[in-house]
Structure formats: C-alpha cells, structure tokens
Chains A and B, each alone.
Chain A
C-alpha cells in the first residue's frame, strides 16, 4: 500500500480519477493542473494534470517550492488525511482555512464543488499505508 503523500499514491489516484464517471461529469470545464502541497515539517507535493474530467499525468516534487501551477492547494498532513478520509468536507476546509488556496481563483474553485467532492470520494479508493 502506498504512503501518503508519495509518488506511488499520486499515480494510483490519477488512475482512479480516470475511472470515476462522477468526477468526469462534474469536472467538465476544469482545464487547469493543480499542485497539492503537504506543508509543515517536510514539504512534499504532487501535481495532477487535470483536463476536462480526466487526469493526464502526475509530477512528484520532493520540494514543491520548485514547482508551479495555476492552482496550488496546501494543507498539513493531518488536514489532508481528514479531507481524504471524509472527516472534513473540502469546501468547509477552505472556509476554515485548513485547506489554503495558495494560488488560483477561489471563485473558480467554488464553481466546481461537486468535482471537489468527487475527488475526495475517489481519493478514498486509494488505500493508504
């Protein structure tokens, strides 16, 4: 089972997103890659190349400060795990500043609430060590 966060986990997540009909439908129109950053302690990150409901690839970063993307989402490891495990709704996490949009338009993110929820549902299908 892959650890979170890890390149292996991110790649399996990308595969699962491509199998999700719910995500494919809800994310139509979303054409921007997103960099997911685990902050605090050892910063790690992975970039998902998302395009109209599909995940077209993954880039892993041992140092996410070297990466850039039109959208960058950051949270601590605990907060990411809470979101992935469904304990915290991702939009509630944004409201409570547990999940921070370090770069990108909030108003665009807020127009894809179901896509965000589908991403969480899909993340739950990737087991974590």
Chain B
C-alpha cells in the first residue's frame, strides 16, 4: 500500500457486479474479470507508448481502498487501481473474493430471481435448467411425493435432457443430519430441484449450503453472514407441492434436533439460500390430502399476518402480506373444494407471504409455535395457525401494528369477506369455514403433555429470533397462560 502514496495519479477500475449479474447471473464474475484484464492490458500498452513503466501489484487492503474512495456506498467492488508515477504507471489488480459483493449490496429485500406462475412443473423446470446451463441435476423429495404420478412425469421429462439423480428420503420436520446426506448426493451437480412441502425445500436449502461449503455448520447460517454461495452451483429450484410454507421464496431453513423434551427446532436463514426460482404448478397442492392443505393454508395466513404485524415491516412486505392475506380469505374455501383457479391464487399467496416475511421477519406466534410444535410433534402450519388466534388480541392492541392489522380487517369487511369486528374473530371464522382446528385438543394432544410443552415453549420462545419483531413481548408467565388458553 505504501507505493500508492508515491504516485501522482491513479486509475481505479471498479465494478458493481450485481449490474452484470442480473443478466449474466453466475457468469457475471467471469465477464467482469475478463473486462478488467482487457482494460488493464490497454493501460499497459498506452503507458508503454508514452514511455511510462508499468507494475502490477497483487495485494492491498481493500477496506482502506474502498474507504478512501467511498466505493462501498454504491456496492462497488474495486477491481483494479492504476496509480501513475511521474515516470511510471502502476497497475494494481484486486483479486476480489467473489462473494463479498453480497455483503456490500444491502440485502434488505430478497426474492427468487424467477417465479413461474400457474404452469405445469415438468416443462417449466426443464426450461429453467437450460437457462442456467445445467447438465447434472439432483431431485430432492420425500417418500410420499416420489411415488406420485406427477413426480414420475417430472423425472421422465428431465431425464430426456439431463443426467438426473434422486434423493427422496426427506422426512417431515427433518433433522439437521439430512443436510449432509443431501450435500453428498448433490456432489458434482449443477442444480437441485426441491419437489415437496416446506420440509423438503428447507432440507434442500441446507443441503445446497453444505454442498457448496463443506465443513460449515448449518447452525452458523444467519442473515448477513457471508456464505458466498449465491452465484455458485448447484443452484436451487423449488417446486412447492403445498400452498404453503412460502419456503420456495424465503430465506429460512427450519430443521429439528434432539429427542423428547430436548427436541427443538432450529431456524436459521440467509438471503443466499432463497431459491433461484420457484415453479407454482397449482395441480400439485390440489392433490395433497385435505388435512395437509388446511394446515398449509393456516401456515400461509400466519406468515402474511405476522409479516404485516412485524416491527420491521416495510412498504414491500406490507403490500405482499396484505394481498396474500386478502387472497387467502377470498379463495381458501374454494381452493379446498377443488377449484383449480382458486388454488392457483392460494399457491401464489403462499409464495407472496413467504416473500413478505423474508423481508420483514415474523413475530410472537412463530416464536411460540416453533418450540411448541417441536415438543408436540404437531404440523407446523396447524400449530402456528392455532397460536395465531391467541396472539392476535395482543397484536391488535399494539399501536402501529394494530393500525396495519385494522386496515386489513377493514379491507376484508369492505370486500364482504368478513363481518367480524376483530381480525382475531375474522381468522377464527375463516378457520371454521374451512374445517381448520382451533384448539390443540382437536389434534389429539394429551392435556398433561400439553401443559408441560406450553411451559417449555414459553421459555424457549425468548431465544427465537422472530420474537424480536413482535410489537409486544409478554413475560414467560403470560406466554404460558396464552398457550394454555389454546388447549
């Protein structure tokens, strides 16, 4: 770095790599470095023609360079710096670790790069794979889905054009270990296709992380921790078969660990694991059993409402959350009765709700439902949907949050979708109309076991990241009382 102080002039080559990445995707770094090489060569030749010497310097402290040039503000990456002495020009080329652009571009909002809406999955997936230049593909799923006709049809279509392997052993609420198994299966592949509900998609995300960063612990995955995998292969394409967890559009990975009273969910996440693309084929959620479809709708609605209630909500997440909630109120009943157009809308709403909460966080209902569901081994969507009924009265009293939820209620009232006077009652009435459970005893949970789980869940909720986005954080005793009232 000392040499830079002695030169009278410098030429700095900088790149905002994301401006190339929107078009050239994973090839963007290659193209930026090629252009840098060509520019550097031209500078060398020009200096030579002017009788100036050139020297390439391979190492400098990036933090000092970007600070002095204020390049970090715009997310620019210093690529090369060419200071000129009186008699020489020096070329400094920065070997920029390719992933650092992620930490410099404010990851405030993250979305899948492509959303394929209301299209048959096989053709859409094949087209996306060709877009990314894939040749070897891993399809991840669970043993139930892999026996379905649509899954075989998908494999048939893909095997015509790609080399395909299958991992179909994901279990519901998958354990942490599944990540390593999927990572091993994904070795040497260009793409992972996750076909299933939230468990499958989350497991595939975790597998993708370990495939690209072996030796990393999944529990170290956190927003803004730089993984450096966003533009690497294998890429992830999600085909959600439920409507839905929103995992196809979210940054979250939820896995489980431990047994019995030590069983807990670990919820981690990174903007870098948001799938590259999601393919919404409405025929898929229509084929799921009724109980699964109802739980998925409860999950999607909880995501939408908690995203709206979150203390970190913003105009983008609010728009997505409000529309998703409205759509669910409008179309849930028809979708459950088999209307494919209605299910297409619910499917999209679930993905929108996933986009919303990825960019706003969730809240108290999820902070309680994660540990409670782990202890009771109950379906996540059903669990959080019931807990939401206990949390909404708290939210509706909070100042800013209450205002946003009140606006949603008034929209529902104006559209004739509810006559309830509170959002909590509107949700309860919706549940009633679609045959959704509203109490944990309806799930066959033993009373004594529930009391014990409620106490543990309330304590563990304090360590759930999502609780930080709740407008009000009750005491442990108040949370226990809330959960007991839902039995």
Measured CB to CB, the residues of A under 8 A from B are 25-26, 89-92, 94-97, 101, 105-107, 109-114, 116-117
A92 touches B311 (CB 8 A): yes
Out of A91, A96, A97, A105, name the residue touching B220 (CB < 8 Å): A105
Near A by CB (< 8 A), chain B positions 260-291 give: 268
Known: A97-B106, A97-B224. A107 touches B268 (CB 8 A): yes
Near A by CB (< 8 A), chain B positions 226-249 give: none
A89 touches B462 (CB 8 A): no
**Does B159 count as interface, using CB distance less than 8 angstroms?**
no
**9-residue interface stretch from B37-45, B76-84, B413-421, B464-472:** B464-472
**Does B135 count as interface, using CB distance less than 8 angstroms?**
no
Q: Can you list 28 A-B contacts with CB-CB less than 8 angstroms, sorted by A residue number?
A: A26-B462, A89-B311, A89-B468, A90-B468, A91-B312, A91-B361, A91-B468, A92-B312, A94-B223, A95-B224, A96-B106, A105-B220, A105-B225, A107-B219, A107-B222, A107-B225, A109-B222, A110-B223, A111-B463, A112-B463, A113-B463, A113-B465, A113-B467, A114-B462, A114-B467, A114-B473, A116-B468, A117-B468
Near A by CB (< 8 A), chain B positions 436-487 give: 462-469, 473
Q: Closest 6 A-B residue pairs measured CB to CB? A: A106-B222, A113-B468, A107-B222, A110-B465, A91-B468, A92-B312
**Does B64 count as interface, using CB distance less than 8 angstroms?**
no
B223 touches A106 (CB 8 A): yes
Docked complex Cα distance between A117 and B467 (Å): 10
Chain A residues with CB under 8 A of B221: 107
B contact face: mostly helix, strand, loop, or mixed: loop
Docked complex Cα distance between A92 and B467 (Å): 12
A91 touches B465 (CB 8 A): yes
Known: A92-B311, A95-B361, A96-B108. A110 touches B462 (CB 8 A): no
Out of B108, B219, B225, B462, name the residue touching A95 (CB < 8 Å): B108
Chain A residues with CB under 8 A of B473: 114, 117
Interface membership of chain B positions 208-223, coded 1 if the CB is closer than 8 angstroms to chain A and 0 otherwise: 0000000000011111
B224 touches A101 (CB 8 A): yes
Chain B residues with CB under 8 A of A112: 463
Given contacts A105-B225, A114-B462, A116-B468, 19 further A-B contacts (CB under 8 A): A26-B462, A89-B311, A89-B469, A91-B312, A91-B361, A91-B468, A92-B312, A92-B469, A95-B223, A106-B224, A107-B221, A113-B462, A113-B464, A113-B465, A113-B468, A114-B468, A114-B473, A117-B468, A117-B473
CB of A128 to closest CB in B, whole Å: 23
Chain A residues with CB under 8 A of B224: 94-95, 97, 101, 106
Interface membership of chain B positions 90-109, coded 1 if the CB is closer than 8 angstroms to chain A and 0 otherwise: 00000000000000001010
Known: A105-B225, A107-B219. A95 touches B312 (CB 8 A): yes
Docked complex Cα distance between A56 and B225 (Å): 29
Chain B residues with CB under 8 A of A95: 108, 223-224, 312, 361
Chain B residues with CB under 8 A of A107: 219-222, 225, 268
CB of B142 to closest CB in A, whole Å: 27
Chain A residues with CB under 8 A of B361: 91-92, 95
Chain B residues with CB under 8 A of A92: 311-312, 361, 468-469
CB of B103 to closest CB in A, whole Å: 9
B312 touches A89 (CB 8 A): yes
Chain B residues with CB under 8 A of A117: 468, 473
Instruction: Please give me the residue from chain A that is nearest to B359 by CB atom.
Output: A95
Interface membership of chain B positions 368-398, coded 1 if the CB is closer than 8 angstroms to chain A and 0 otherwise: 0000000000000000000000000000000
Instruction: Please give me the residue from chain A that is nearest to B270 by CB atom.
Output: A106
Chain B residues with CB under 8 A of A96: 106, 108
Instruction: Please give me the residue from chain A that is nearest to B220 by CB atom.
Output: A107
CB of A79 to closest CB in B, whole Å: 14
Chain B residues with CB under 8 A of A91: 312, 361, 465, 468-469
Chain A residues with CB under 8 A of B220: 105, 107
Docked complex Cα distance between A89 and B225 (Å): 19
Instruction: Please give me the residue from chain B that is nearest to A91 by CB atom.
Output: B468
Instruction: Please give me the residue from chain B that is nearest to A114 by CB atom.
Output: B462
Chain A residues with CB under 8 A of B268: 107
CB of A24 to closest CB in B, whole Å: 13
Docked complex Cα distance between A109 and B225 (Å): 11
Chain B residues with CB under 8 A of A101: 224
Docked complex Cα distance between A90 and B465 (Å): 12
Docked complex Cα distance between A92 and B225 (Å): 15
Instruction: Please give me the residue from chain B that is nearest to A104 by CB atom.
Output: B225
CB of B216 to closest CB in A, whole Å: 11
CB of A83 to closest CB in B, whole Å: 13
